[in-house]
Amino acid sequence: MRAEIITIGDELLIGQVVDTNSAWLGQMLNKYGIKIHRINSISDNSEEIKLQLSECLDRSELIIITGGLGPTKDDITKKTLADYFGMGWRTDHVVLAQLEMFFKNRGREMLETNKLQAELPEGCLTLNNEWGTAPGMWFEYNGKIIISMPGVPYEMKNIFEFKALPLINERFSQPKLFHKTIITINVAESILAKRIEQVEDSLPAYIKLAYLPNWNIVRLRLTGVEQSGSDIIKEIDVYTTAIMNILGEAVVATEDLSMAEIIFNLLSHRNQTLSLAESCTGGYISHQMTMIPGASKVFVGSVVSYSNSVKHHQLGVESTLFETVGAVSEQVVLQMVEGVRERLATDYAIAVSGVAGPGGGSVEKPVGTVVIGVCNKDTTLVQTYNFIGDRINIIGRSNNMAFEMLRKLILS
Amino acid sequence: MRAEIITIGDELLIGQVVDTNSAWLGQMLNKYGIKIHRINSISDNSEEIKLQLSECLDRSELIIITGGLGPTKDDITKKTLADYFGMGWRTDHVVLAQLEMFFKNRGREMLETNKLQAELPEGCLTLNNEWGTAPGMWFEYNGKIIISMPGVPYEMKNIFEFKALPLINERFSQPKLFHKTIITINVAESILAKRIEQVEDSLPAYIKLAYLPNWNIVRLRLTGVEQSGSDIIKEIDVYTTAIMNILGEAVVATEDLSMAEIIFNLLSHRNQTLSLAESCTGGYISHQMTMIPGASKVFVGSVVSYSNSVKHHQLGVESTLFETVGAVSEQVVLQMVEGVRERLATDYAIAVSGVAGPGGGSVEKPVGTVVIGVCNKDTTLVQTYNFIGDRINIIGRSNNMAFEMLRKLILS
């Protein structure tokens, strides 16, 4: 069974908005054994939409469309689909009642354009939008399914998960796919590939290995298609173990987690706490921790000590060090990490100071020089790194490396 | 002239990676009057790649391909393109020398798979990759241009900007596009559309208006195509002014900037400084500020006071308040914002405390309740909001609203 996504909106084509919806949809469908074969991003243009839809209908059974359902003039998806399928219009009175309540609850006036959102093509099934104003639509055409949803991620995700997915599962039953992700750090893709060449060559045709590098992390993803008469999960486990045995220390986890989630799980399990002192990473590591629901079980707080004054007053770093060895130095980071752990009274702490660029580099400390420290009450470790890349790259690599140093300290 | 993007990689289709490359390419090309007509994301599969390439060659003059050029077995783009164009192989000795230097500089052994990256299809022009190991390639075929680049964003961006774009500009000369973005806050898309309906209806065919909602911000984007005999920039300015006059207070800026950039520009211009006390936003606002190169001119630091203990010890919030009115209260936020401004010695400060969810809500303070405070030495403003959405949504809306409150205080 082939499935495709069509995302509609000039904002995607001129790069004003990044298409995060498709990745989310791909993930959701993949869990149910449905593979997305193509993602097609096109313009808010009626002819383009029709052309793309024709192509997709020629080759796929399930077509998921996002975008172009808003209340404004540039939103033309609904009208275009009604035209394409030759459908008249109906008023969906359930949607109308929902819209009235939506605006009443928010104390906002309901405009004519909002009311129009209850006008739907006659032949489609409504996928109620309890999270916004534009309903989703489910069309059947020549035995194919076409789903249209708004592009606002929060609304789309809820409509898809709670309204569309149950219908999709009823309709399509697929051989399941199973994934296993092995997360590695600090080893380049080509070196990993060389080391596990023999395992890779021995994989059966229904198990595939992919390398997904991001900053200093490479995720190795094994994907297997369910086979009758064999246990695909066990088979994947055998290859996972073989790869882990070869890669040893480079393996950080065998679940698809962020470094922050790995640390959260470790500390949460041990009922231990963490604080951070961030200079060049500027709050990014704290943000990674606090994107985890329930982070407060582990994460107590941070001092984002961007200026030297904050490093001195809030963390207790000796002021003379800024002149003698500079803020990006192992001495300063040592005082930062011990200072924040003591002041915020946590079991563990991380501190980072570096040159994220593009400015601020020097001959001795070029852009990418980052000093990372981790500690608990007995041990403090400080290490200097030279990362390559642009500002977000250096911040991201620092984040990963800081969590990796902490992971080793926790497990030591 | 039509241009399309093909992004190759199963990781995009199963949603393990979000395609940020296409948005970036769309932005870059748009500046030079080249519009991307479609973005096609497909599998690492030789047949799919050939099929997609045939379709694109049928309808477009410029095809930009990213991904599948790594050194591992799942990377098949280069071989597939050579097959498709019926080209033999050549060793690019400049690339080989670069690769040798690349590995030498990093103290890493150069493997056979790395050497293979210097083997290129005979008929293609090399787009040197000075930022990684896989070179880009420039093909000409039946008068069409096909560019293939690695998928690693940092490498792709540099190759495109410094190697491919100059050649594209030489080859294609297009009527220029001009954009103007008006950023609005706290007014829903449908209400904005209603208010500016007359202006929108009066736009000439060569000027288009798009609404781009994201959290509590809507960006209105006017796009005009250069016309001979008229000044498109002036024309767009006339409509911009008309829209601004109608929307008044809802307009935050007339440049495509983030809220953090707007605040940075305001404070930088005034030589004034900012500190933050973040609870539910957990470092996100600090990260937004510190993603701006040179942020240290304005941003001094933050206290991410996730626990009440940090609110008390690092910011001076009275402990009794946590029991009497709770951490998500105007009294606590008032002490947080004044506390951080005083302790970090800045001109302005922001503080945020709220319930980002999914857990932690109550009847009086449901998920989405967020208290925001801003202050300078004379004035402190505190306000409670009820935001709707998931965790990142609530954090993002808090970020925007906090900067908006600060913007008004700065300008008052």
Q: What 3 state SS string does chain B have?
A: CCEEEEEECHHHHCCCCCCCHHHHHHHHHHHCCCCEEEEEEECCCHHHHHHHHHHHHHHCCEEEEECCCCCCCCCCHHHHHHHHHCCCEEECHHHHHHHHHHHHHCCCCCCHHHHHHHEEECCCEEECCCCCCCCEEEEEECCEEEEEECCCHHHHHHHHHHHHHHHHHHHCCCCCEEEEEEEEECCCHHHHHHHCHHHHHCCCCCEEEEEEEECCEEEEEEEEECCCCCCHHHHHHHHHHHHHHHHHHHEEECCCCCHHHHHHHHHHHHCCCEEEEECCCCCHHHHHHHCCCCHHHCEEEEEECCCHHHHHHHHCCCCHHHHHCCCCCHHHHHHHHHHHHHHHCCCEEEEEEECCCCCCCCCCCCCCEEEEEEECCCCEEEEEEECCCCHHHHHHHHHHHHHHHHHHHHHC
Determine contact: B340 vs chain A, CB below 8 A.
Answer: no
d(CA A299, CA A266): 12
**What integer is the mean pLDDT of B320-333?**
98
**What integer is the mean pLDDT of B398-408?**
98
Q: Do A307 and B296 touch (CB under 8 A)?
A: yes
Supply the pLDDT for residue A107.
Answer: 82
Determine contact: A258 vs chain B, CB below 8 A.
Answer: no
**Could you tell me the pLDDT band of residue B1, with boundaries at 50, 70 and 90?**
confident
**Could you tell me the pLDDT band of residue B71, with boundaries at 50, 70 and 90?**
confident
Determine contact: B8 vs chain A, CB below 8 A.
Answer: no
Query: What are the CA-CA distances from residue A171 to residues A62, A143, A177 (Å)?
Result: 10, 11, 18
**Could you tell me the pLDDT band of residue B387, with boundaries at 50, 70 and 90?**
very high
- Where in chain B are the domains? 3-171, 177-253, 259-411
**Could you tell me the pLDDT band of residue A371, with boundaries at 50, 70 and 90?**
very high
**Could you tell me the pLDDT band of residue B224, with boundaries at 50, 70 and 90?**
very high
Disruptive mutation site among B2, B4, B8, B13 for chain A (greatest number of A CBs within 10 Å) = B13
Q: Do A301 and B296 touch (CB under 8 A)?
A: no
Beta strands in A150-298 (DSSP E): 177-185, 207-214, 217-225, 251-253, 274-278
What is the chain B residue with the closest CA to A17?
B23
Supply the pLDDT for residue B246.
Answer: 98
- From chain B, the residues in CB contact with A209 under 8 A are 73-74
Reply yes or no on whether the pLDDT at A31 is more than 80: no
d(CA A137, CA A159): 10
**What integer is the mean pLDDT of A70-93?**
93
Q: Within 10 Å of residue A152's Cβ, how many Cβ atoms?
A: 26
- What the block records as the tokens of B398 is 């808090």
Chain Cα centroid distance, residue A312: 36
CATH of domain B3-171: 3.40.980.10
Q: Which CATH class is domain B259-411?
A: alpha beta
More confident residue, B139 or A210: B139
- Lowest-confidence pick of A46-50, A221-225, B31-35, B178-182: B31-35
Q: Do A303 and B301 touch (CB under 8 A)?
A: yes
pLDDT tens figures, A133-162: 999 999 999 999 999 999 989 899 999 999
Q: Do B23 and A30 touch (CB under 8 A)?
A: no
Determine contact: B318 vs chain A, CB below 8 A.
Answer: no
Reply yes or no on whether the pLDDT at A174 is more than 80: no
Reply yes or no on whether the pLDDT at A213 is more than 90: no
Supply the pLDDT for residue A118.
Answer: 95
More confident residue, A75 or A74: A75
**Could you tell me the pLDDT band of residue B100, with boundaries at 50, 70 and 90?**
very high
Determine contact: A190 vs chain B, CB below 8 A.
Answer: yes
The domain A177-253 having CATH identifier 3.40.50.12780: the answer here is no
Tell me what the pLDDT averaged over chain B comes to.
95
Reply yes or no on whether the pLDDT at B229 is more than 80: yes
Supply the pLDDT for residue B287.
Answer: 98
More confident residue, B201 or A16: B201
d(CA A73, CA B56): 29
pTM of the complete model beyond 0.90: no
Restricting to A residues 65-104, those with a Cβ less than 8 Å away from any Cβ of B are: 70-74
Comparing CB atoms, the residue among A39, A133, A390 nearest residue B13 is A39
Supply the pLDDT for residue B32.
Answer: 81
Share of chain B above pLDDT 70, in %: 100
